[in-house]
A = this chain, B = another copy of it.
Amino acid sequence: MAPHLNTSAAAKLPPVKNTTADRLLVAASELMIERNSIDVSLSDIAQKSGINAALVKYHFGNKDGLLLALLARDAATEVTHLEYLLAQPLTPTAKLKLHIAGIIKAYYQFPYMNRLIHYLLHESSTEAADEVSKFFVGPLLDFQRRLLAEGVAAGEFRNVDPVLFYTSLIGACDHLFFGRHAMTRAAGVGPVTDKVCRDYIAHMEALLLAGMLTDKEKVTAG
């Protein structure tokens, strides 16, 4: 266990992005994946990274600061992917499919991300919730707004309200991970495996693009 020094003065300095902070975030995310829990302490992270606990406190102030920094790191990566995706020479339909798969894969790859978002939005401070909105909800909603507009302009998508669309897509993806644990208590529901993820990506693509009516019914309805 690394020594835990009193650094109340240092903790008041603004956190600086540098390689020590990056190494601490890597240690934090590895611990969360190993434990399948976001319940890791600053001293756990000091021990895992081999970096003095005083430096952990210096960079993140407290545990919520660390969780926020970790989510900010992962969200920044995802936002870069979104911008990259939007710029590709693909149809809006193809981009939407890749986006659906991207969300589900990101949640699956970083199982703690979903829990971090729920914790920071609902059980942490108002400031933390504002930050999550600024670097996660806002950019994601903005991306979807632009993708939907592109699809409408190309004649591929009908007009869909972006805020309602965001709610339904993110809610559905989120529930595979947040709600599955509860569902596994019901008959015939297993844990989320690679195969379940692939199946859910295919399910969401088909559902959002073409719905569940058979072609016959669509013709009748139209």
Contacts and interface: CB of A to CB of B under 8 A. Distances in A.
A143 to B, nearest CB: 12
A105 interface: no
B155 A214 contact: yes
A189 B163 contact: yes
A68 to B, nearest CB: 14
A171 B179 contact: yes
Question: Can you tell how many copies of this chain the complex includes?
Answer: 2
Interface residues of A, number: 62
Nearest to A120: B182
Contact of A200 (B133, B151, B167): B167
Contacts of A122: 181-182
Given A155-B216, A199-B164, A175 B182 contact: no
B171 A133 contact: no
Contacts of A17: none
B172 A168 contact: yes
Given A167-B200, A171-B176, A174-B171, A208 B209 contact: no
Interface in A158-188: 158, 160-161, 163-176, 178-183, 185-188
A40 interface: no
A162 to B, nearest CB: 8
A207 B200 contact: no
A182 B133 contact: yes
A123 to B, nearest CB: 9
A208 B212 contact: yes
Contacts of A182: 121-122, 129, 132-133, 137
B208 A164 contact: no
Contacts of A179: 167, 170-171, 174
A187 B216 CA distance: 40
A194 interface: no
Given A167-B172, A175-B167, A176-B171, A211 B207 contact: yes
Interface string A192-222: 0000000110011011111111111110011
5 contacts: A130-B185, A164-B203, A172-B175, A208-B212, A209-B221
